[in-house]
Each structure stands twice: as C-alpha cells, then as structure tokens.
Amino acid sequence: MLLSKYIVEGTCSEIVHNWEPNCLNAYRSLIRDSAIGGLKMLLPLLCINYGLRIWRKNKSNDTLAKDLLIDGLRCIGIGPCLTITTVFYSCTIRYFLNRYTIITLTCIPAILSGYTSAWILGSKMTTQILALESIVNVMAASGRLKLNRYNETIFFMFTNACLMYASKLSGPSYTSYTWFFKPDKKRRDEKIYLESIFKKTRYYFGLGIGYGIVRMLIRDTSVLKLKNMHKLFNKQTLKPGIFAGSYVVLYEMIVYAMNRYFQKDRPAYALPAGFLAGLSYAIDPNLAINISAFINLIQILYYLADTQLLRPSLMESIIFGLCYGTMIHINFFYPENTAKIGSRMVELCSNGRFKFVATLLRKNVIYTV
C-alpha cells in the first residue's frame, strides 16, 4: 500500500482534522463529539452492568455509588482520551517530520494514544481481542490464514484445554483472569456435585444469553426501542447461551467422571475436559471468543513464568497501546477486515469523525500496489 503525494506532503489540517483547519479548534470540537460518542457506546452497557449488580446485591450502596461515579466518568472520558490524543500525536509527528507515512499517519499516533489513555482509564482486554481479531481477518483476507468452523473449533479445543489446566495451576493471587468460566481449584463433595453442575449450567446459559444481548446492543442500540425489543430474543442471542451451557456441562461432567473413576482429583483432568468442552464452540463460532481464550492463556502463562522484567501495569499499558494502534490502523486502511465491534467502537468514540476522515482518505488519496 502506498500513499499519494498529497497525503505525504499534506498538512494535518488537510488530512487528519479536515473539518477544522485550526488544531486547537479541532481538539475542542472533538471533546464534545467524542464525549457524546463514548456515552452512546458505554451507557447502555453500564446500565445493564449496575442493574445486575444491584439485583445481586454484591456490594453496599456506598461502594456501588462510588464505582458508578468512577465508571460514569470513564464513560465520558474514554472518547476524548482516545480520539484527541490520537489526533494530537498525529499533528505533532507531522510537525517534526514534515511529512506523513503509512505508519505515522494512524498507527504510531494511535499506539501512543492507547498507551496514554491506559494510564488514565485503565487497559481493557476487549481492545486486545478486537485488535487480534482484526489482524486475523486481514491475514485470512490475504490468503495467509484459512478460517472455517472446523479450524477454529480445533484451535479453540486445544487452547481451552491448556487454559483450564493453567487456571488450575494458577494461585489465588492471580486476579487478571477474565474468561467467563473458572474451574474449581478443589474437589467438591460428591453428593452435591451433580446438583452444582445443574445450577452452573443454568447460570451460564443465562450468562451466554446476556452476552448475546450485549453483543447485539453494541452493534445496534436501536433494538432498545419498544417496536424492536423482540429482536433481543432471537437465534443470535440464544446461541451464546447454548454454547456457554453446553461448555460448562461438558467440562464439569468429564471432570466428575474422572474423579469417580480414579478416586483422586488432579489438575491434569482439566486437559481432556477442557479439550472436549471446546467442541461446544462449533455451536456458535465466534472469533472474539476464540481469541479471548487464547489471550487469557497467554496471560496466565506469563503470570506462571513469574517474569519480573517489567511491572505488570506497565506491560498491560504497552500491550493496550499496541493493540489500539493496530486496530485504528486496520480500521483506516482495511475497514472490511476490522472486527465489527471494533469498527463500531472507533466510530462511536469519535462520534463519526474518524469514519469521515478514513472514508475521505480511501476515496481520494490512498491506492494500493
């Protein structure tokens, strides 16, 4: 991919913030637009999250109110933090280099923006998943990687087997685990084992349906309108529930059977149980789920290796910055291969500004060789 002479020699006001020639005025307009976009993206999810927390009564009212205030401020701040810093770094790099390249136009500014924003807002694994999903899509589109239900399911089965085993080995001090299911560390009483499996299956079935609803809300918030509410409960929201429920029941039943047969609980049982539980992925193939399991596995292995080269918070911020920069770069230059939720997130965070700039660039001044 090459950039035309217009892009290479163009100013930031012509390329990056072409709706406003003055940099400071462009930043001011982005504050308003991106704050609105961040609220559009996260407010429905925030309401669902705190509605569930209030229903479960996990914490006191004072703690919930404090958490709600902090998360509300993050909802307002995430858009401005990510978009303004991206544009600011792009303008600054253009000023010092006196030219643009493919890397300095979007990728490096977005990486620096992600690194800065991670220190302010905290890094989120969602961005890592979306970035890796976008990279996989680009590789698949170029023919370097073959994606289908069979290949994805086999990969998930191996990843899940290793993830369950590594989770069994990780100690209680490991707190970065974000996979939806965590296996029990200790063997439970056999009398209540089957009853607990039924309860877990029912719980994770509901959790999967909830995930399907959230996924639909991120893609299209118009389903919250009264006339569209029926769309929240269709095959697309039911499939994640079936996946989660069957995943849990397969894993738990295999572990239960092996415990009864060998009369001893061992972490190694998680390997065959996790492998066969991975078959449930074929019910609802979802690249984001597959990648989420893989990233969780890498994080646990990193934790188990106990590498002290970098502080964990610093490493998380660096990874977040790299992933955000990669996703922005792919969204600008390979929009058809960007993760759908990632593309939607970028559009909402900038309230459509980035999409407008990217469309203009691709239409007029970017060409491939």
Contact yes or no for 273/251 (Cβ under 8 A): yes
**Residues in contact with 140: Cβ distance below 8 Å, sequence separation at least 6, in sequence order:** 146, 147, 337
Distance of CA 282 to the CA centre of its chain: 21
Write down the pLDDT at residue 5: 73
pTM, to two decimals: 0.73
Closest CA to 77 of 46, 45, 37, 109: 37
Q: How many CB atoms lie within 10 A of CB 352?
A: 13
First-last CA distance in the chain: 6
SS3 150: helix
**pLDDT of the residue at 153:** 92
Judge whether 139 and 147 are in contact, CB under 8 Å.
no
Backbone angles phi, psi at 2, to 5 degrees: -120, 155
pLDDT at residue 305, rounded to an integer: 66
CA distance 292 to 347: 22
What's the pLDDT at 310?
Answer: 47
**360: CB partners within 8 A, 6+ apart:** 18
Q: What are the CA-CA distances from residue 108 to residues 29, 216, 365, 368 (Å)?
A: 23, 31, 20, 21
Q: Check: CB of residue 187 under 8 Å from CB of residue 321.
A: no
3-state secondary structure of 46: helix
Is the separation of the CB atoms in 113 and 86 below 8 Å? yes
Amino acid 276: pLDDT: 94
The one-character DSSP state at 179 is: S
pLDDT for res 368: 46
Which residue type sits at 138? V
Say how far apart CA 141 and CA 150 lie, in whole Å.
18
pLDDT for res 308: 43
Helices 312-333 and 108-121: angle between axes, nearest 10 degrees: 140
Would you list the domain boundaries of the chain? Answer: 2-122+313-367, 149-306
pLDDT along the chain (369 residues), means of 10: 72 83 87 81 75 67 76 78 87 88 85 78 68 86 86 92 86 68 75 83 88 79 75 82 92 89 85 93 89 85 60 67 85 82 78 74 55
pLDDT in the model for residue 60 = 63
Is-contact 54 78, C-beta < 8 A?
Answer: no
Distance CA 204, CA 248 (A): 7
Q: Is 164 left (phi over 0), alpha (psi -120 to 50) or beta?
A: alpha
